[in-house]
Every structure is written in structure tokens, then in C-alpha cells.
Amino acid sequence: MALRNIRTEGDPILSKISKPILEMNDKTKTLIEDMLETMYHANGVGLAAVQVGVLKRLVVIDVSEDGDNPIILINPEIIDKEGTQTGEEGCLSVPGKSGTVTRANHVKVKAFNKNMELFELEGDELLARAIQHEVDHLDGILYTSKVEGEIKTSSD
């Protein structure tokens, strides 16, 4: 495993659309492990492959208290959204900043796991927010384009 460099706002790769993963191979397995290590090291709750410079439809998320319940979503597709939540959001690719974003409060996503088995996952509140945020990354969208009002710096 290795830490990967997290691309930051202004890097043109962050605005590109990621490509589907068609099969699991050693390179993708290594990418998943590296992404988890990078996300935990940066104290994030989610990370998309594009954020480490790889244009593949892969995200890792862990919203658990103890940080030992990682979710791997390969080729995720949000298939249902319900309700709304408005709250502060940040991003490892936009360090030191946050903003208020409204998203669905409940989502259902279908994706492949690391064994390339199709599954569905439902999430509420923080998990729902993280799923939507990371899937946006795969489509070249940063949360900053959805911020209501001002983007705050960590010193605000």
C-alpha cells in the first residue's frame, strides 16, 4: 500500500468524467488499497479515484466512528433519492474550505464490490451525503459548484 497524492482544485483532471471499470485486476486492487490508506491518512470520509489522478469510476467511503468499515463502490449509480438535508461539506481536493450544500437525505446506489459482484446500498444523512459527493467527483463535479452562499475558509 502507498499514499497517493490528492489532486486539488484547479487540477484539470478533477473536471473530467471517469471511465467504468470493466474487470478487477491487480492494478485496481492496489488502487483500492492505496485509496483507503490515503483517505484515512487525510482524515477523510470519502475519496474518488479521480482525486488521486485515476479516471476510473471507483470510490471509497468510511463514515464509521472507528474508521474500520470501508465501503468500496465500483461503477456506482444512484438509483433513488429521497428527502433533503442541508449542511456543511468539505473535500480533500479543496483543502481548508467548506460550504453549505443541500443534498438528498436518503439515497440508494447500485455498484460492484471489490469482487465485481453487483449490490445495492442504502444510506441516510452523512453516508447519503458522502455517496452523492463522491459520485459527483466521477462526473467531474466539485461540491463548490453546489455551495449555497459563500465558501468559507477554515479560519472563518
Active site residues: 134
Show the cell assigned to 63: 463514515
Q: What pairs with residue 89 in β-bridges?
A: 99
Note the residue count of the chain.
156
Measure the CA–CA gap between 114 and 29, rounded to whole angstroms: 8
CA 9/CA 46 separation, integer angstroms = 16
Of 73, 65, 66, 34, nearest to 52 by C-alpha is: 34
CA distances from 64 to 1, 10, 90, 117 (A): 21, 30, 17, 23
